[in-house]
Amino acid sequence: METPYQNHIDKADFDHVYEPAEDSFLLIDALEKDLEFLKTKKPLLCLEVGSGSGVVITAFGMAFPGTLCFSTDINIKACVMTKSTAQRNNVIVETVNMDLASGFVNNKFDIVLFNPPYVVTDPEECKGNGIEASWAGGVKGREVIDRLLAVIPKILSPSGVFYILLIEENIPNEVIQIMKRHGYIAETVIQRKVRNERQLVLKFYKFANYD
């Protein structure tokens, strides 16, 4: 998978929108590692929740030009940047300014991507809609993550796949158990130690629909 061009972005804009970092590129690497599997799924609809600069959903759109791509972000400036990143790379992404995926229901998406705000913080820090919304995760770094996990069964198609990036402090095994209760199986796609932080990307799917 190609890394999208980002030279259209003014560095000052990253005062307001999360700048692509190791976690962003690890999620892209996970999708690249799973590329042949993803091709077999022939996804029609893909959603990235919390798209930030737009590099992940744009990279996906570059690899899957036949897929209709959507993104959401609670930060309106992130929505604008995602749109411009997609356009700079000749990808069409429908961007929506919303909290997580609150406006989507009825099992629409074949692929859902989420690089969440995973940093352990005071719960009060999770209430913003600026750049802090890209990293502030509250207790266990999981307050925003757990909210989306509850929505995944409503927005993921029956044969869909959900990719999420986590760190050790998020207690990935608890995330796996939550999703298991919703009927999903987990696989670790990729993991990497970055400085003092172990990052990993999990994917979730329904066993009966995995091929």
Closest CA to 163 of 56, 53, 40, 20: 56
* Containing structural domain, residue 81: 19-200
What is the CATH number for 167? 3.40.50.150
- Assigned domain for 26 exists: yes
Report the DSSP beta bridge partners of residue 112: 47, 162
Closest CA to 167 of 203, 118, 112: 118
Domains in the chain: how many in total? 1
Query: pLDDT in tens for each of the 211 residues of the chain?
Result: 889 988 888 888 888 998 899 999 999 999 999 999 999 999 999 999 999 999 999 999 999 999 999 999 999 999 999 999 999 999 999 999 999 998 887 879 999 999 999 999 999 888 889 888 998 999 999 999 999 999 999 999 999 999 999 999 999 999 999 999 999 999 999 999 987 889 999 999 997 655 5
Residues 67, 44 contacting (CB under 8 angstroms) = yes
- Assigned domain for 10 exists: no
- Assigned domain for 115 exists: yes
- Say what the pLDDT of residue 195 is: 79
- Say what the pLDDT of residue 209 is: 55
Largest CA distance in the chain: 47
- Say what the pLDDT of residue 208 is: 66
Q: For the chain, what's the residue count?
A: 211
- Assigned domain for 5 exists: no
Residues 62, 89 contacting (CB under 8 angstroms) = yes
Describe the strand order of the beta sheet including 156-167 as a list of residue ranges.
93-97, 68-73, 45-49, 109-114, 156-167, 197-205, 185-194
- Assigned domain for 3 exists: no
- Assigned domain for 88 exists: yes
Could you tell me the pTM of the whole model?
0.95
- Assigned domain for 95 exists: yes
**Measured between alpha carbons, how far is 43 from 116 in angstroms, rounded to an integer?**
22
